[in-house]
Structure 1
């Protein structure tokens, strides 16, 4: 910590009353702490989230302000960003978020989320990067640096092992310390050590019987002592339960979802303990000093702060670039893609996700987007009047039959966060109403879509998930497609075996019912305001797909180690019995065939790898990639290590580089190696199961 800043902080501290100090370490509004106006200390203003700056709420209730000034740029979700495998795009996306947060007058943006994707059923996976700690850390670091380049603190979350939404406030994680340090902590460490993150958010759950926001082990031993972290630690909203424990650990700011701000654990209850002598005032002082230093780092006290801006043309261009590279081509067996514009006469899009907008959903990641382009709009706006583009819904969700958040009696919907501390923090969702009305409605929609599909030259199905399934506070029961989509896809493929299938979602889905019947499959994500344009560009060949899967796409959730070996979601206690074997580490080691493996993603061109060399003294490897196809494209070369070690995963990602190549062009790729490779095998390829080159380390 900068000694000059500490001196200034201590000087300010010496002029503050106990009440003023206490006001700085807990929420005084839903997203603000108290400032000290007489000393020129402003409140600390925070906002969600990872996909853009959230809309404004009234200070003491979860009611939107409702003005027109909080529409913002809607960013691709972190899963989409991870699918780009592009560090520079991660940095640029972070810059957009930081500049928009500053433009909206925020000091701390509650992002990025970097929890490891232990199970595909976690409802919040779309907010996270990957199942792999290396990939997560490599993309989180530039993202954080981008955010913080605009005098806004990134708030890294959720520290740590926050891998499920079920009973998230109380679930107690049992995990071996070796596994914790090898899988679940490395990305956090890299974000601290290399990203220089200025704020960290504690998690809701418990670790070894202790709530993470009150954990001396996590916050003091690991974060402060081992990692030498001197930034601020902020609680998740409602994650603090005990005044004494919160005060005596390295937590600096307590936030919650309720409006009884003075009743928070680190408000009046802490003040009373200080006045009684039970807790030393120096405990409060340490927290206030860290907050003041944070403010100085953000230039909140010296008048030299950047102003920021939002909804700019540059921002929209940057999120389009990220959305383009997030699209993953999973199958293209008969080269139906890209579509040849000159051959298109009439196109039918089927499926709700062709026309559905996703910005205003998912929990605290919801965004009041300036606009959002659907795939239907993206395609229709490109093909113009010479190509007929029609839409058939194909299926419907149970929301139409009363499954929504309305309180009834004509009242407005309440914000789910008002009651988000109830029921263990899980958002209790009703079972889908499989009544006769709903089934009949779906049957009619399915029949209409199948009949229409016979009449069009080109048919594209766009389905998958939405934010009633990928959602904070909610875990899925399985990976099955909702709303009888499997039946619809199968019936469509019977009459249109040439149908292109596009899936949109934040987590993998089961595809076994129809995957062998379709030869063309594209995966999209919640890709931001320009997602529909990006998808249209890929389908039409204006953009060559270059996305790669940042997680394993299992055939069913039972092929995931959290379910096959461990527990998910557990019952108040969850045991990570799978140990080190998370994601592809399990599938590759135990030869469990996935639907699509970690790192998989096709292109409209082909690439050839050659000339692998390892330079041990320089700690780097070199090899060559050549574009052997008929169009320019980007390839993400992936570096894996096999340690030949008993009771250790078969292979682990330790490097990657994304390379652009013109047709026929060849380039040398150089990767630095951070890992000791002595006695190991080095593997290079296009995915965890597409290894092209190997050598001894």
Structure 2
């Protein structure tokens, strides 16, 4: 490894901080040290006041800093000072394919965490979307390791600019909620290294992430939070990570294994803090000579070094803030670029603000807020603009907007039900959630469908806003299939039957089946849980104030059995889950075995058209770049994302037909404007084709590298 002066200075600084930490360590009693390596409250460790060592304060993320809870119970404090900026979910951020927006999102989160007095924000989640049914997919970026790490690295860097530690999670192979505490993942070494670990590796080596959260599941027969293989062999020895590892809440199961592992802090969901595995049980074993005190010393040293890096014990720490107009503007920018135009036949969109005088909006998600659900990702948002509010605000009273729900949920949850976390370790920690048939709800939905269809037949402009909610996209739950809930398919078919120009729009965190009506629909728009400004951003796209530039960060399958985790692997498995698909995750499987998706990885339409020209492969400073001209040949300003996939000329059986290895988003190109785009291509390119395109299945040029 070649060191530069910056590496040397960083190494010198690390050595100096460790020396200071070791001097402070010698002044601590065993009891004080034990207090620093486990939760003393639900979200913080114990400090040592006599030595000026503060507690380490944490908060859930990454869509915003979570509300305050009582120190010893999952009851909200209930004050007004913990309302925050609600950021778009990681899936929405990934749809922007915009590294700079990822960094800006991290900066907002870091500044708000610091403003709320937090030291560690528990995000981002970088687990791979192995199956579309995983309940926490909305918290993760992508099915692709390259796209994930390219956005996670600047995100982490942005957070840590504010003297706050990002906590990349969940390390590792944590890809389902069903039996998440006990399921043992069996995955081959190549897939582990090339699919499930790259984002964690880059978080350590490129982003310099200060903390890592271990996962609930087992890998190779070991619980991840006390795994010799993961935490010692890979993380510490191979990657050289020397900072803090924090357990997921309730992921530790054995005092001796945890103490002798490379885990530094044990957290959990219960209030018996002194009984945690690394609390009094560990202290007693050390006093009996069964475990060496040296293992605790090393953990405490790393924690002290972290505190020094964050300036927690000096007067030079940055101060943050939250709920600023600038933060809301950044949330809006991400939301705008996250909207994905999936289909737009006959150029139904954009609507004309001047021509639309009467608009019918159908669908419960048009007026639903989503910030306050989803598990630990829930946010106490300062506000949340719904699609209905966004459209009405944009139209400004100059059009009649009528709303009807069209469908109703089977059951309503209490809006402020926060007690789920107290029982989150029961029944294996999660399951595939099935909803019982609700006869009353079905009868009500039939009435609502009839009402909506009758109205749609009389309106020229109809907008349907449906999709999912946090009954389906949620920690602790996996879906059983990709079907739209609440009989939305029936509603969509009836709307299209009476008004073929109905615009179909979805809000959600995971793909849904569309096959029963997609051929009849001319226009389909996908919006995620897009943060506090999501409704405004969607309205701007629908009415052409913003040209859509979002691209899918995951495959939208026709049905979940077209996904490799279900076709040749297992999901969710039993006591073990076998990743028999190996490297063939997401588009790698569909493209290699020619299984047609509904919408492919990287897909996203625009209101304008982009021409690719003059592609070349160039080398700069030993790195490979693909350069090409991208010209806006349409009539509307817009942005395009150039994607580069590599394909081996001598493909092996275990090798996907192509893999994403580079991308770059253009600036906003005016009609007729051209930009020379330069895309860094990762890895070796010898004997590979470089496939340049607008999506994984819209390849414009192929360059051979020999």
Structure 1 partner of 2:665: 658
Selected match of 2:71 from 48, 59, 79: 59
Selected match of 1:636 from 637, 641, 644: 641
Structure 2 partner of 1:208: 220
> Which runs of structure 2 are paired with 1:164-175 in the superposition (5 Å)?
164-175=176-187
Selected match of 1:515 from 513, 518, 530: 518
Structure 1 partner of 2:468: 465
The answer as to whether partners of 1:405 and 1:414 remain within 8 angstroms in 2 is no
Structure-2 separation of matches of 1:435 and 1:418: 28
Structure-2 separation of matches of 1:405 and 1:119: 29
Structure-1 separation of matches of 2:281 and 2:681: 51
Selected match of 2:166 from 135, 154, 158: 154
Structure-2 separation of matches of 1:104 and 1:465: 31
Structure-1 separation of matches of 2:398 and 2:682: 54
1:417 aligns with 2:421: yes
Q: CA deviation at 1:405?
A: 6.1
> Which runs of structure 2 are paired with 1:76-475 in the superposition (5 Å)?
76-400=88-412, 404=413, 413=417, 415-426=419-430, 429=433, 431-475=434-478
Q: Could you say what secondary structure the match of 1:599 adopts?
A: coil
1:531 aligns with 2:539: no
Structure 1 stretch displaced more, 131-140 or 638-647: 638-647
Query: What whole-Å deviation, never above 9, does each CA across 1:329-364 have from its counterpart, x for those lacking one?
Result: 000111011111111110011001100000000000
Q: Could you say what secondary structure the match of 2:519 adopts?
A: helix
Structure-2 separation of matches of 1:574 and 1:613: 44
The answer as to whether partners of 1:176 and 1:579 remain within 8 angstroms in 2 is yes
Structure 2 partner of 1:409: none
Q: CA deviation at 1:428?
A: 7.3
Q: Could you say what secondary structure the match of 2:542 adopts?
A: helix
Structure 1 partner of 2:697: 689
Structure-1 separation of matches of 2:440 and 2:507: 27
TM-score in terms of structure 1 length: 0.98
Structure-1 separation of matches of 2:153 and 2:615: 28
Structure-2 separation of matches of 1:386 and 1:414: 41
Structure-2 separation of matches of 1:427 and 1:167: 6
Structure-1 separation of matches of 2:326 and 2:402: 32
Structure 1 stretch displaced more, 383-392 or 43-52: 383-392
Query: What whole-Å deviation, never above 9, does each CA across 1:573-620 have from its counterpart, x for those lacking one?
Result: 100000000000000000000000000000000001111111245522
Structure-2 separation of matches of 1:197 and 1:413: 33
Q: Could you say what secondary structure the match of 2:676 adopts?
A: strand
Q: Could you say what secondary structure the match of 1:385 adopts?
A: coil
Shift in CA distance, 428/175, structure 1 to aligned 2, threshold 3 Å: closer
In the TM superposition, structure 1's runs of 4+ consecutive aligned residues that sit over 3 Å from their partners are none
Structure-2 separation of matches of 1:643 and 1:182: 16
1:50 aligns with 2:50: no
Structure 1 partner of 2:683: 675
Selected match of 1:619 from 621, 624, 638: 624
Q: CA deviation at 1:486?
A: 0.4
Structure-2 separation of matches of 1:259 and 1:448: 50
Q: Could you say what secondary structure the match of 2:327 adopts?
A: helix
The answer as to whether partners of 2:663 and 2:680 remain within 8 angstroms in 1 is no
Structure-2 separation of matches of 1:526 and 1:128: 12
Q: CA deviation at 1:672?
A: 2.1
TM-score in terms of structure 2 length: 0.96
The answer as to whether partners of 1:151 and 1:298 remain within 8 angstroms in 2 is yes
The answer as to whether partners of 2:142 and 2:148 remain within 8 angstroms in 1 is yes
For this pair of structures, how many residues does the alignment match?
A: 688
Q: Could you say what secondary structure the match of 2:445 adopts?
A: helix
Q: Could you say what secondary structure the match of 2:604 adopts?
A: coil
Instruction: Give the superposed CA RMSD.
Output: 1.1
Q: Could you say what secondary structure the match of 1:262 adopts?
A: helix
Structure 2 partner of 1:482: 485
Q: Could you say what secondary structure the match of 1:141 adopts?
A: helix
Structure-2 separation of matches of 1:531 and 1:413: 24
The answer as to whether partners of 2:128 and 2:175 remain within 8 angstroms in 1 is yes
The answer as to whether partners of 1:345 and 1:457 remain within 8 angstroms in 2 is no
Query: What whole-Å deviation, never above 9, does each CA across 1:496-532 have from its counterpart, x for those lacking one?
Result: 1010000110000000011000010100000000000
Structure-1 separation of matches of 2:59 and 2:397: 43
* Structure 2: runs of 5+ lacking an equivalent: 1-10
Q: Could you say what secondary structure the match of 1:158 adopts?
A: strand
Structure-2 separation of matches of 1:37 and 1:101: 23
Q: CA deviation at 1:670?
A: 1.1
Structure-2 separation of matches of 1:138 and 1:386: 43
The answer as to whether partners of 2:644 and 2:681 remain within 8 angstroms in 1 is no
The answer as to whether partners of 2:565 and 2:579 remain within 8 angstroms in 1 is yes
